[in-house]
Amino acid sequence: KGPFTAIYPGGFSSGTSFYDRKSTVYYPFDLQRAKAELAKAGLKDTDGDGFVNFPAGTAGGKNVEIVMLVNNDYTTDKSLAEGVVAQMEKLGLRVVLNGVNGTQRDAIQYSGRFDWLIRRNDQELTSVVQNTEQLAPVGPKTSWNHRAPESGEVDLMPFEKDLVDIVNKFVTTQDNDQRADLMKKFQKISTEHVYNVGLTEYPGALIVNKRFSNIPQGTPIFMFNWAEDSIIRERVFVAADKQAKYELFPDELPGKPGDKGPMN
């Protein structure tokens, strides 16, 4: 009966086979400590409007405004973004939504014209074996989290160097035990440093007719690709006792090559 959503600390989705709970770092909700961290950084509400301001010598002491990029094509993305706006308002941060459609959003994202952005259903975080190079800045343009500027060089933080090393080792080894161990280390470093700020996660399901055989129970919808691509469709069959007349155009299979038309 729900709720079906769960706390998401960032890092790998709990639905992937590489997820490890013991390697996942959760931080407690602590609004007062968060406000103290902002004050420590010199961000305080100096004009009494409820939002923190830059120090007097920075940006004219104006309110701190964070532009968050969101895809307008999906209601889910907009709902998540509005939730972030409400949460950050309690903290004293003003988040301004920049909602655009898919192609415009991609162009803005690639050009780096945003402060934050909402990301959802990332293949590298839900399957790990897809787009693995996007997990860390192994190249100048591979990672969504840290891309190179005009110089073409990524200024890596110390923990990012560890993530890059882990991803490089992961893609070059064929040892499954080593791969699992590497991703446990990746998950711990990623969540410990809040490389992605997790919002929420919820389960998905692959819905198929019960008459289909040879589909493993609980097949993740993002194992290899989206939805039905998570299974090898060539291996799916219908048992003889469950077969029925479901053909849309029965007895109209194509004829032999060179024949005038389909055989009836």
SS3 44: strand
Strands 212-213 and 237-238, by their bridges, are antiparallel
**Bridge partner residues of 6 (DSSP):** 201
Question: Which single residue is written with the structure tokens 């500027």?
Answer: 149
**pLDDT at site 112:** 87
Helix/strand/coil for 53 = strand
Alpha-carbon distance 199 to 187, whole Å? Answer: 16
Q: What is the pLDDT of residue 256?
A: 72
Phi, psi of 155 (to 5 degrees): -85, 90
Residue 97, pLDDT score: 96
User: What pLDDT, on the 0 to 100 scale, is given for residue 48?
Assistant: 95
**Whole-prediction pTM value?**
0.83
Per-residue tokens: 243: 């077969």
- Residue pair 217/205 in contact (Cβ under 8 Å)? The answer is no
Residue 263 confidence (pLDDT): 58
- Residues 77, 118: Cα–Cα separation, whole Å: 7
* Mutual angle of helices 176-192 and 158-172, in 10-degree steps: 160
Q: What is the pLDDT of residue 264?
A: 53
Ordered by where they begin, the domains of the chain are 6-201 (3.10.105.10), 204-264 (no CATH)
pLDDT digits (tens, 9 = 90+) for 25-78: 999 999 999 999 999 999 999 999 999 999 998 999 999 999 999 999 999 999
DSSP 114-159: -SEE---S-HHHHTSSSSGGGGTTSSTTS-SS----TTS-----HH
> Would you state the structure tokens that stand for residue 82, as one six-digit string?
């509005």
Q: Give the chain's residues under pLDDT 70.
A: 1, 255, 261-264
